[in-house]
Amino acid sequence: MDIKSLESQHTSGVYAKRDVVIVRGKGALLYDDQGREYIDCVGGQGVANLGHAHPAVAAAIARQAETLITCPEMFYNDQRAELAARLCALAGMPRLFLCNSGAESIEAAFKFSRLATRRTKIVAAMRGFHGRTFGALSATWNKKYREPFEPLVPGFVHAPYNNLERLAQAMDGETAAVVLEVVQGEGGVYPGSADYLLGAQRLCRQAGALLIIDEVQTGFGRTGRTFAFQHHGLEPDLVCVAKSLAGGLPMGAVLIGERVGEIPTGSHGSTFGGNPLACAAALAVLQTLDRERLPQRAAELGAYLMERLKGLDSPRVREVRGLGLMVGVEIRQKVAPYLQALMERGVLALAAGLTVIRLLPPLVIEQQQLDRVVEALAEVLALDLSEGGEVE
């Protein structure tokens, strides 16, 4: 039985599979079981900021695997302590909670908000995406994700993104927290304005609520700064990170500000959270981000990519938007056939909703590889692959 048949026989069915078997990666390139090369603009859905098989991360994992893989947080650990200090210093926040994924970090932030404020209401943004566990799903906007699992966690409301007046209307004396992405990823790659984000912070301070910033996709250099909130001088109370933190190993964290106050012992926990293997990998990631100036590289290459994409002479393109190497190309048709056509030309990309092609390349990608991505996009956008005409 071949690889695709074997996996199809046993997989849950919750994932829409693409007709390719990926078996190897190096830098910004992936290779299938036939040896064909692809430029990776999926980037593990935002995980592969350092690319694939980065030698520093691979070496750190190998060393730690021979030393100590698991150690629960009831015991102190050298790798965990060093990572905590480094990560808190980078974010300018004093404490953190370590977990295993973005959804877990969001769930923890909601629990900490309710503990700190003794309130229950959470205000989230329309088009926002925060995960698929019940609390994270309750904050996620898209009814496609929500409706099959209702009733969800009570106390969640949504307000339009980038609309400060409507956010203020959604908040009241029962609001525990507001949760926002600096750039909405799954929702279509929409950057928040400085006025909106700083205004949301001001509203939270006035209402006695906490500001949660979801950096699960934007964190660790993706937008041109270590954290996207640093573009606007935000001082969030809780910051959720995951995806690229440990270079491909499952890891998440909640960075915790002073306004959160004391978190009671035993009020939350995670068996695998902060395990030494993931911590060692994350330390290698943070050191590499600094040594290779990857946030600065993302800013420079992102500006170059945006300029080239905005220069595409295609009537199918509605808008190009993004920040750093987090870029969305909104087109007038559904993107699925265009993603297939890109894959046939050796470029792997993501959707962000029905009509946005999302590009999340590794921050180590070369400029000439980005040129090949733009050329492939120009080719496929010249084709009529519309299904039922334009999408309003």
Active site residues: 129, 214, 243
192: which DSSP letter? P
Q: Residue 47: which region, alpha, beta or left (left: phi > 0; alpha: psi -120 to 50)?
A: alpha
CA geometry: angle at 130 spanning 124 and 132, to 5°?
120
Long-range contacts, 245-248 (Cβ 8 Å, 24+): 245/219, 245/220, 245/282, 245/285, 246/278, 246/279, 246/281, 246/282, 246/285, 247/49, 247/50, 247/54, 247/57, 247/281, 247/282, 247/284, 247/285, 248/44, 248/47, 248/48, 248/52, 248/57, 248/281
Query: Measured between alpha carbons, how far is residue 65 from residues 12, 243, 281 in Å?
Result: 30, 21, 10
- Report the amino acid identity of residue 257: G
Closest CA to 199 of 154, 169, 239: 169
What length is written for the chain?
392
8 Å CB contact between 57 and 281: yes
Please tell me whether residue 275 adopts helix, strand or coil conformation: coil
| Residue 194 CB partners (closer than 8 Å, separation 6+) | 231, 232
Pairwise CA distance, residues 171 & 158, whole Å: 10
- H helix runs in 36-97, sequence order: 43-46, 55-65, 78-91
Distance between CA atoms of 196 and 159, rounded to whole angstroms?
A: 12
Long-range contacts of 288-292 (CB under 8 A, 24+ apart): 288/50, 288/54, 288/56, 288/57, 289/49, 289/50, 289/220, 289/221, 289/226, 292/364
